[in-house]
Amino acid sequence: MKGSFQIAKLFGIPVQIHWTFGLVFVWVFYEGFAGDWDWESIAWSMLFVLALFACVVMHEFGHALTARRYGVSTRDIILSPIGGIARLDRLPEKPMQEFYVAIAGPLVNVAIMILLSPYLLSVTEDQREQLFSIFNKSNNVFTRDLTPLDLFLFGLIFLNGTLAVFNLLPAFPMDGGRVLRALLSLKLGRMRATRIAAYVGQFLAVLFLIYGIWQSSPVIAIIGVFVFLMAANEFRMVRMDTALENYTVADVVRSNFTRIYTNDSMETVADTVAHGWEKSFLVFDQWQNLKGVLPEANIMKSVKQKAFDQTAAHFMEEEYESLLLQDSLKNVFWHVQQNTNNVYPVYDQGSAQLVGVLDPAMLYHFIKMKGK
């Protein structure tokens, strides 16, 4: 995701943070100064935010590590002000595998609640009543006999429970939507199960929207709109996924393509783009050996730099991925979606010969032609 940078790597999975995450701390400072908090209260609030997002990271690792058990890798985990997301390469095909991957995240939050719950047993009955009276808005939290640590631990228990419950709502993109789809898939098949789960999610989204308008809560209303759109998108993606199962790269590959050579100038390449319909190219040496790929993004970079006298070898990417004619188009589609700037040389598995090229534009045109 653009604007993200890596802060750690755990279990071989990069953990990234989006720059907007810093807005959370800006908000805490604003609330602190507006509410005339002392520095200790601001520090505890900062610590609480960090602890809460640590729980979010553990939630996402619940998904990622469970998916790894079924051969599904995770590209990274990204934190933003609205939460975290584990970007899996794909979802498991088998319903129960998807169920376990989806349920793993909320179960991590439940586990955190259980680990912290002895704290509630250690406090006095009066303190426990004071903690739960926080939900009574008429009470002033600052008049209670509670320490910052009390509020910190109770807040983590409560919010982990909230995260678990919210994520189990049967609506995409929450985990509950995938849990519902997985269970329905056991009897109905993935396509029909997704349709039903999407309808359930959209019904809940409408309720969110109505409640948000009724309570004058724009946040809840926006969540409703977001969930409605995501439910529709999930069904569309699964429908496309099902349709592409019957095709391979051989149905899309373009055998007639323009060859760019390492010593060609970028002016020549730019002219080829301007007077043709190809946007990305394979780059060869004078002996017709494939040396790299030249994606459209790299060509545009050379144009912005006015580096027309530079050679294609300077802007090409020597590391690239190849496809086989026999590869399933369904698997290729999800991979291409995550690498939209790439161009892929295509080989025949039997002869190991280069037979053509594939780029995202070709794939999307194929899907459009099929009416999907």
pLDDT given for residue 145 in this prediction = 63
**Residue 13 pLDDT > 80:** yes
The arithmetic mean of pLDDT across residues 228-232, rounded, is: 83
- Per-residue model confidence as pLDDT tens digits over 173-197: 788 988 998 999 898 887 888 888 8
Q: What are the pLDDT digits (tens) for 30-69?
A: 777 777 777 877 788 888 888 888 898 999 999 999 999 9
pLDDT higher at 244 or 134: 244
User: Both ends of the chain: CA-CA distance in Å?
Assistant: 26
For the segment 315-322, the average pLDDT, to the nearest whole number, is 85
| Structural domain boundaries in the chain | 1-168, 170-244, 249-369
* Burial classification of residue 344, based on how many CB atoms lie within 10 Å of its CB (0-12 exposed, 13-18 middle, 19 or more buried): buried
What pLDDT is stored for residue 143 in this prediction?
A: 45
Active site annotation includes 321: no
Q: Where are the beta strands (DSSP E) in the chain?
A: 4-10, 13-18, 74-80, 83-88, 259-261, 281-284, 290-294, 323-324, 344-347, 354-358
CATH architecture group of domain 249-369: Roll (3.10)
Closest residue by Cα to residue 163 from 255, 62, 42, 19: 62
Chain-centre distance for alpha carbon 264:
38
pTM of the model: 0.69
Q: Is the separation of the CB atoms in 254 and 279 below 8 Å?
A: no
**pLDDT band, residue 338 (cuts 50/70/90):** low
| Residue 92 or residue 368, greater confidence | 92
Over residues 81-102, the pLDDT tens digits come to 767 788 887 778 788 999 999 9
As given in the structure block, the two tokens for residue 265 are 């100038």
Please tell me which residue in 60, 98, 234, 296 is annotated as part of the active site.
Answer: 60
